[in-house]
Amino acid sequence: MSGGLLTETQIRRVVEMALEEDAPFGDLTSAVFVPEDAVATADLMARESGVLAGADVVVATFAAVDPRVQVQLDLADRDRFGPGDRIARIEGPARAVLRGERVALNLVQRMSGVATLTAAYVAAVEGTRARIVDTRKTTPGLRALERHAVRCGGGRNHRYSLSDAVMAKDNHLALLDDVTAAIRSAREQLPHTTHLEVEVDRLDQVEAVLAGGVDTIMLDNFSLDDLRAGVELVAGRAIVEASGGVTLDTVGKIAATGVDVISVGALTHSARALDLGLDMVISSAGVPGPGRQTTR
């Protein structure tokens, strides 16, 4: 989906919160070591291969610090890069560049880490019908950014939150005498626009769930054989999602069972920050100087 779903409001809130957290009462070092009129040029460099996510976040971070900072992007979100590639050049007042540096890096490194890991999962299911989707196992406060990163890596999103789709788990169902009736009743109460997904643990639960009328059935922690059997049993009556025990090693085989959707918590909860850094030159009073600083 288009990047349009990561809104400027969402980015601005994260960036402002992060900048506040990183300097609640000013930057002592700049105040004593960096002249107010010093300028800096900083190159955002890749030190390893990956997929970019967060270019807008970098731009927004420096804009929030000081609108005089210029960010020129060499790459766009979804682009792949290798070690040594320049992602962006940042120029402006040195104090402002230094102020935004750590926050911008912390965000773009994490987001690109998610995008890169997602791309690996997506590559592993190429040629199958399965889409790789994220989960609610995102970093608190950064869900919108991480979902965007998943899209940058070629993945798709699952529901955003508890508020925009229903997912009933087995122990929701365990409460009920008649699963089919309960699903029908839920459907009756829910907005007609609400997607209704139900999770099952065993093949013998599938028919009762389908009889209630669901949009997606999730087969949780099924063996590959059971997944294949499940796909066959559902036979197009609902979208089939596989979940549980998904790794880069297993995801291709899971996809080969014919499921429609594979949800992978690891995309967001276990991606590591990608190795990106700023190469910076600060010059006093606009005169280019020799000092190079590297921040990762």
205 belongs to the binding site for a second copy (CB under 8 A): no
252 vs 289, beta carbon nearer a second copy: 289
Which residue of 58, 71, 110, 262 would you call a contact of a second copy, by CB under 8 A? 110
Site string for a second copy, 226-265 (x = CB under 8 A): -------------x-x------------------xx---x
Shortest Å, Cβ 181 to a second copy? 12
Distances (CA, A) of 151 to 54, 90, 136: 11, 25, 15
Binders of a second copy among 16-75, rule CB under 8 A? 17-36, 38
- Determine contact, residues 241/260, Cβ cutoff 8 Å: yes
Token pair of 112 as six digits? 């690109």
1 belongs to the binding site for a second copy (CB under 8 A): yes
Going by C-alpha positions, the residue among 67, 58, 50 that lies closest to residue 18 is 58
70 vs 284, beta carbon nearer a second copy: 284
Token pair of 61 as six digits? 């971070």
Helix (H) or strand (E) segment spanning residue 45: strand 39-46
Which residue of 159, 203, 256, 258 would you call a contact of a second copy, by CB under 8 A? 159
HEC string of 103-142 equals HHHHHHHHHHHHHHHHHHHHHHCCCCCCEEECCCCCCCCC
139 belongs to the binding site for a second copy (CB under 8 A): yes
| The one catalytic residue among 101, 199, 241, 260 | 199
7 belongs to the binding site for a second copy (CB under 8 A): yes
Residue type at 163 in one-letter notation: S
Task: From 14-22, 119-127, 222-230, 249-257, give the range in contact with a second copy by CB under 8 A.
Answer: 14-22
Shortest Å, Cβ 11 to a second copy? 11
Which residue of 49, 181, 272, 288 would you call a contact of a second copy, by CB under 8 A? 272
Burial 151-189, CB ≥16 within 10 A → b, else e: bbbbbbbbbeeeeebbbbeeeebeeeeebeebbeebbee
Q: In terms of C-beta density within 10 A (0-12 exposed, 13-18 middle, 19 or more buried), how is residue 79 classed?
A: middle
Which residue of 74, 79, 170, 226 would you call a contact of a second copy, by CB under 8 A? 170
112 belongs to the binding site for a second copy (CB under 8 A): no
194 belongs to the binding site for a second copy (CB under 8 A): yes
Which residue of 11, 51, 87, 103 would you call a contact of a second copy, by CB under 8 A? 103
Shortest Å, Cβ 250 to a second copy? 16
Token pair of 76 as six digits? 């766009």
The number of CA neighbours under 13 Å toward the Cβ of 204 is 0
172 belongs to the binding site for a second copy (CB under 8 A): yes
187 as an active site residue: the answer is: no
Binders of a second copy among 70-99, rule CB under 8 A? 95, 99
| The one catalytic residue among 102, 136, 143, 187 | 102
52 vs 117, beta carbon nearer a second copy: 117
142 belongs to the binding site for a second copy (CB under 8 A): yes
186 belongs to the binding site for a second copy (CB under 8 A): yes
Token pair of 180 as six digits? 């089919």
Burial 33-44, CB ≥16 within 10 A → b, else e: ebeeebbbbbbb
- Catalytic residues, by residue number, are 102, 137, 169, 199, 220
